[in-house]
Amino acid sequence: MSRSINLIVIHCAATPNGKALYKGGTRTAAATIDVWHSQRGFRRDTVAREAFNPQLYALGYHHVIDCDGRQETGRAHSEIGAHVAGHNANSVGVCMVGTDKFTQRQWEALHSQVRSLQARYPAARIVGHRDLSPDKNGDGTIQPSEWTKTCPGFNVADWLAGGLQPLKSHLIEAAA
């Protein structure tokens, strides 16, 4: 099964900045968010789950990046995610643990993750979740007043314009 992917959507987990979700063993960030998504009623397709990361029953994202820079996969790219209203069918979702400040290792991991997604989907637009909020006044740009949520907590366009380097005002030193 393949689908057409033309959007790469960056998210944050809305968890404390710099606090890794990894709790040892199999209790990874992806496994932790999987429980939360399960509680919210998300559910992966059984066949897709059995084929890829069968331990994750609900997780809506395709990639998760914890505070120590650990990169995990969630859903397969061939599987429609559950991370952005109205755009799941044609997108891949990447989630950064934290809310609006991230560690150097996380920024580096996001850089390499997005570069690899760009190589795979050269035509895809890279945006933050909030950039896909409805354009209420129809002027063609999504202003802060139109954000349905603030996720991923930083301006993805600024980050892209800066060559995928950490945004200083959104950088923290080390994971707690």
Which residue, 5 or 151, is less far from Zn ion as judged by CB?
Answer: 151
Closest to Zn ion by CB, 11 or 101: 11
Distance in Å, CB of 143 to Zn ion, minimum: 18
Q: Looking at beta carbons only, is 11 or 49 nearer to Zn ion?
A: 11
**Residues forming a β-bridge with 125:** 7
CB of residue 163 to Zn ion, shortest distance in Å: 23
Least distance to Zn ion from the beta carbon of 24, Å?
A: 26
Report the C-alpha gap between 169 and 141 in whole angstroms. 23
Binding residues for Zn ion, rule: CB under 5 A, are: 11, 129, 151
Contact yes or no for 62/93 (Cβ under 8 A): yes
Q: State in angstroms the smallest separation of the CB of 44 from Zn ion.
A: 18
Whether the CB-CB separation of 95 and 84 falls below 8 Å is answered with no
In terms of CB distance, is 11 or 75 closer to Zn ion? 11
Residues 74-103 as b or e (16 or more Cβ within 10 Å = b): bbbbebbbbbbeebbeebbbbbbbbbbbbb
Name the strands in the sheet holding 71-73, side by side, starting at the edge strand that comes first in the sequence.
71-73, 63-65, 91-96, 7-12, 125-128
d(C-alpha 100, C-alpha 27), whole Å: 23
Tell whether the torsion through CA atoms of 87, 153, 117 and 18 is positive or negative: negative
Question: Cβ 11 to Zn ion, closest distance in Å?
Answer: 3
Using the minimum distance from each CB to Zn ion, give the nearer residue, 49 or 130.
130
